[in-house]
Chains A and B, each alone.
Chain A
């Protein structure tokens, strides 16, 4: 899984790429220490809620991009409530990040499936 995330994190401008499980647990993280994990976890929580809200509106999110002045946040919902978050600087090509994540999605889901079977329910770490 780490090698898959690395394919995202090597894109210029990507500060950190992480996968979080529904319970808030970090499944995997890759790239610099410049952006603290706790903050990515909070972003993941907000995105998870957004995916839930979308579901209530019969909307099935494939990806989202939030643009801020200093950052761009690219998010993907994965299996069983897990989410992929890429924190990028404002100059990063968010479309390239999104396209790369979409390309890797099947492989990530396969790895995620292995992760879930190896970890007891409710304790993603």
Chain B
């Protein structure tokens, strides 16, 4: 059940432990953003229909961020409207909580250390049957600055996309078609990359590949060249398929 636009419930909750509150959101099948504050830190846990799909804190994302947030003492909780996020977390909440508790016990009860030393591990991505697609998606969700991904085949049909609401497949295909028409005018090869900056500050980066076309919606300040460099191994096929 999503929070209505008009409600925009923003509230504080005291006397309830964070794990208990997370389980309540799961049981109530809530779609919301849980903002957690402790001292001068702030983290966000993103729920979609009761499923924890992503977390963000102090530069960390996904499971690593969730562990860090869970380690904070005396957290203040605020509930805000849901966000359309990439699924960086695929494990059930119970598994996240269990893993966190196990890790904390193993580290002698040093909760903060447990959160901070959590190995950056992204179990998110796509559940597409093709292991190559899953492998690329898994790599993409581990990168900072990417809001959503779109994978298209050479015919311009969407293979998979991370956004629940934003349909960009046809537009990405049109960009490729425009690029091909420009290529003919220029008598050149490519395009190897198309980059569109929108007025809202977001960037759509389109990377046509031999096997598929990848569209990435980036945050405003994302370093495009850096992201392309980080993606080079998977785009060239050197990273190998996902074996998870």
Q: Which residues of chain A have a CB within 8 Å of any CB of chain B? A: 39, 42-43, 46-47, 49-50, 53-54, 57, 59-71, 73, 98
The residue that A68 contacts in the complex, of B171, B174, B182, B200, with Cβ under 8 A, is B182
A59 to B202 alpha-carbon distance, docked (Å): 10
Contacts across chains A and B counted by CB atoms under 8 Å: 78
Q: Does B194 contact A (CB under 8 A)?
A: yes
Residues of B contacting A68 with CB < 8 Å?
Answer: 182-183, 186, 188-192
Question: In which size bucket is the chain B interface?
Answer: 20 to 34
Given the known inter-chain contacts A53-B174, A68-B190, please indicate yes or no for A46 contacting B181, CB distance below 8 A: yes
B178 touching A39, Cβ below 8 Å: no
Of all chain A residues, the one with the shortest Cβ separation from B181 is A46
A45 to B188 alpha-carbon distance, docked (Å): 18
A57 touching B185, Cβ below 8 Å: no
Of all chain B residues, the one with the shortest Cβ separation from A66 is B191
Q: Which of B166-215 contact A (CB under 8 A)?
A: 168, 170-171, 174-175, 178-179, 181-183, 185-186, 188-200, 204
The residue that B195 contacts in the complex, of A53, A59, A64, with Cβ under 8 A, is A64
Q: Which residues of chain B have a CB within 8 Å of any CB of chain A? A: 168, 170-171, 174-175, 178-179, 181-183, 185-186, 188-200, 204
Of all chain A residues, the one with the shortest Cβ separation from B175 is A50
The residue that A46 contacts in the complex, of B185, B190, B198, with Cβ under 8 A, is B185
Residues of B contacting A61 with CB < 8 Å?
Answer: 196-199
Residues of B contacting A49 with CB < 8 Å?
Answer: 178
B194 touching A67, Cβ below 8 Å: yes
Of all chain B residues, the one with the shortest Cβ separation from A50 is B178
A98 to B74 alpha-carbon distance, docked (Å): 47
A67 to B189 alpha-carbon distance, docked (Å): 9
A-B contact pairs, 21 of them (CB 8 A): A43-B182, A46-B181, A50-B174, A57-B168, A59-B171, A59-B196, A60-B198, A61-B196, A61-B197, A61-B199, A64-B196, A65-B195, A66-B178, A66-B191, A66-B194, A67-B195, A69-B188, A69-B190, A70-B186, A73-B186, A98-B197
Residues of A contacting B171 with CB < 8 Å?
Answer: 53-54, 57, 59
B188 touching A70, Cβ below 8 Å: yes
Residues of B contacting A53 with CB < 8 Å?
Answer: 171, 174
The residue that A69 contacts in the complex, of B175, B192, B196, B197, with Cβ under 8 A, is B192
Given the known inter-chain contacts A67-B191, A67-B192, please indicate yes or no for A60 contacting B199, CB distance below 8 A: yes
Of all chain A residues, the one with the shortest Cβ separation from B189 is A69
> Smallest CB–CB gap between B217 and chain A, Å?
10
> Smallest CB–CB gap between B103 and chain A, Å?
42
B181 touching A63, Cβ below 8 Å: no
> Smallest CB–CB gap between B229 and chain A, Å?
14
Given the known inter-chain contacts A53-B171, A67-B191, please indicate yes or no for A39 contacting B197, CB distance below 8 A: no
